Amino acid sequence: MTSEPLNHAAWTLVPADEQSVTRLSHEAGLSRTVSRVLVSRGITDAQQAARFFSPSLDRDWDSPSAIPGMDQVAEAVAQQVRDGRHIVVFGDFDLDGISAAAVATRGLAAMGARVSAFVPH
């Protein structure tokens, strides 16, 4: 593993094939550090790098149903909405938790749910 300074921080990187790092850096116009991280994650050509930096749900995610239990949860939530039952969205108190709770709450409300959010702290 190697450590490289980046903004006064030390990053410990998994070893990567240096020829692949050099090739990706040149092909994709990326720094060697970024290329090294990508190669260590199995991304070895410019097309793969472009896909990594421009994700798409349509292209990269076949179906939400691929997540184990997703269909059962979706049906349970839909049943709660149909029954007019109150749904509480529990959000974590960090930024992504607050954002996720807001998105879920607004989405459920748009579907007609009686919904509120709870974020501790």
Q: Where are the domains of the chain?
A: 2-60, 64-118
Contact 19, 25 (CB under 8 A): no
Please give the Cα distance from 121 to 80 (Å, whole number).
Answer: 27
pLDDT tens for the chain, 121 residues long, are: 555 555 677 777 788 999 999 999 999 999 999 999 999 999 999 999 999 999 998 888 888 888 899 999 999 999 999 999 999 999 998 989 999 999 999 999 999 999 999 998 7
Report, in this order, helix, strand and coil percent for the chain, each rounded to 5.
55, 15, 30
Q: What is the pLDDT of residue 5?
A: 56
Residues 16 and 29: their CA atoms lie apart, in Å, by 18
From the CA atom positions of the chain, what is the Rg in Å? 21
